[in-house]
Structure 1
Amino acid sequence: MLAGIRAGMARQADRRRGAPPPAKPIPVIPARATAPGIDVVDLFHRQVLEAKATLEVVASRSDVPAAVARYLTARNAPAQIRLAPDRRIADLPWANAPLLETATGRSHGMDATSVTPAVAAVAETGTLVLQSSAETPTTLHFLPDHHVVVIGRDQIVGTYEQALARIVRDADGGLPRTINFVTGPSRSGDIGKVLLMGAHGPKHLHVILVDEAL
C-alpha cells in the first residue's frame, strides 16, 4: 500500500514540474489498417475505388502531366487546368503534355479541373488529407468539377491518427488554418433521397499515385 501511495505522490510531483504524461497506445477502430501484414498502399487503392473515386499509378513524377492529360481525354473534359502553386505540382514537367493549358493559383469558380498535392492519404478509408495555405488554396479543393490529387507512395499512412501526427510533425510556424478530409467525390442524397454528385464540391475525384517520394 505504501508503495502505491509513493507512486501516486511521484506522479503528482511530475505533473507539478510539467513532466509530460507517459505515452498511451492509441486505440484504432477499425483496425484493418494496422493489422499485421497489411499493405497500406493496396488498401488505400481499394478504398479509393470503393468511395467512387478513380486512381492511376505512375512510376515517377515526370509521368504525372501525361496522366492528367489521359484522365481529361477519357472524360472529354477541357484541357485547361488550374495548378496549385506548391512546388510539388508547379515544378512538374508540364511541357511533357503540350495539349494541356496550365494556370497557377487559387480558383475563382471558373476552372473545370484543379491539380493539387495532399498532406497525407489514409488507407483505412481511402481518404485524402488536404490543408489550406498560400501554396494549396482551399478553393482548388472544392470549386472545380474535377479535382486531381497527386500523392507519393510515402504519403500513405494507415490511420487518421497517423495522418494527424504527420501534420503536427511537419508543421513549420504553426498548424494550417484548415484541414479537410476528403473521401471520394462530393455527393448528397438529402433532397428526395436522390443521389446528387457534386453537391458540395467536385463531381469527380482522381488520384495519381506516384510510385516514389513526391
Structure 2
Amino acid sequence: MNPANSNASPKGDREAILGRIAEALREEAPRHHEAPDKPAPLSVTAPFREWLPPVGKTRKDQIALFAQQSEALRTEFRECPSEAGAAKHIAALAAELGWKTIALHAGELTDAIAERLPKTLAVLRVDSGYTKGALESCDAGLTECESLIAQTGSVCVTALSSGGRALSVLPPHHIVIAQKSQLVNDLSGAYELLAQKYEGGYPSFISFITGPSRTGDIERILVLGAHGPKKLTVLLIP
C-alpha cells in the first residue's frame, strides 16, 4: 500500500484495535456452556452505540431511516403500493438490464410476484431442484426475509424464509420483497422476532445482509460484488 494514498496511520489503527480488545478482555465472559447473567455493561457498548442513528417511534420514521441507510449502502430501496407494483418494478429492471432468468423460492409474497412477471422472463424455482451452475447463471434471485432493520439498513434472511442458503448469494442481483410489518428498529428487535418465531429451533442459516457484497481490502478501494450479489434491491409493500 502506498502511504501517500492513506489518511490513516497504521500504528494508530493498531493501537485502537488492541485497546478495544484489552477493554473487552477486562469483562469476564461466561463459560461456553453457561448463558450470560447480565448484558454487556454500558462502558463497553456505549462507544459503539454512538455510531448508530436513533430510530423514531413511528412506522414512517422506520421507513425513512431504512431508506436513508439504504442509500448510504448503495441498496436500491423502493416502496411499492402492492404486490402488483413490486412485480411491475421487477419487470422494469428486467427490461432495463436485459434479464432472461430470475430464480425464486415458494412463498406467499414470492408466489404472488411470480404470477405477475412477464412471460418473457424465465423463472427458476429452487424448491423444484437446481444445479449450482443454473442458479449462478440466473440474472437475479428473489427472496422473502425475516425482517428489515431500520437502524442499520440490514435485511435478515434465513434458510427457511429465503429459499435456502444459495439463492440470496449466487445470482448477481438479489431482490428482497418484504412487508411493512417486518420492519424493526434495531438488531435486538430482529433477534427477538427470530426467538419468537422459532422458539429455540433455529434454522441452519441466519444472515444479516447490509448492502451489496463488498470489500475494501486492496488499497482501501471499495469493490462491489466481491463475495456475493453486486446489487441489492429491497421492495417494501403494505
Runs ≥4 residues deviating over 6 A: none
State, as a whole percentage, how many aligned pairs show the same letter: 24
- 1:5 corresponds in structure 2 to none
Distance in 2 (alpha carbons) for counterparts of 1:69 and 1:125: 28
Aligned-partner residue type, residue 164 of structure 1 = Y
Match of 1:68 in 2: 90
The whole-number CA distance in structure 1 between the counterparts of 2:200 and 2:38 is 26
Alignment of 1:10-21 (within 5 A): none
Query: What's the counterpart of residue 165 of structure 1?
Result: 192
**C-alpha distance in structure 2 between counterparts of 1:22 and 1:183, whole Å:** 28
Q: Which amino acid aligns with 2:87?
A: P
- Specify the alignment match of 2:169 in structure 1: 142
For structure 2, the 5+ residue unaligned runs are: 1-36
Q: TM-score, normalised by structure 1?
A: 0.77
Q: 1:168 to 1:97 in 2, by over 3 A?
A: same
Q: State which drifts further: 117-126 or 168-177.
A: 168-177
Letter in 2 for 1:81: I
Q: Which residue of 2 aligns with 1:77?
A: 98
> In structure 2, what is the Cα distance between the partners aligned to 1:117 and 1:134?
6
Q: Distance in 2 between matches of 1:90 and 1:137?
A: 16
Q: Aligned residues, how many? A: 190
Q: How many angstroms apart in 2 are the aligned matches of 1:85 and 1:180?
A: 19
Q: Retained in 2: the 8 A contact 1:107–1:139? A: no
Secondary structure in 2 matching 1:190:
coil
Which ranges of structure 1 fall in alignment gaps of 5 or more residues? 1-20
Matching residue within 111, 136, 139 for 1:90: 111
Q: In structure 1, what residue type is equivalent to 2:168? A: H
Corresponding residue of 1:8: none
Partner amino acid, structure 2, of 1:195: L
Deviation at 1:94? 2.4
Cα distance in 2 for partners of 1:95, 1:34 equals: 35
The higher-RCO structure (CA 8 Å, 6+ apart) is 1
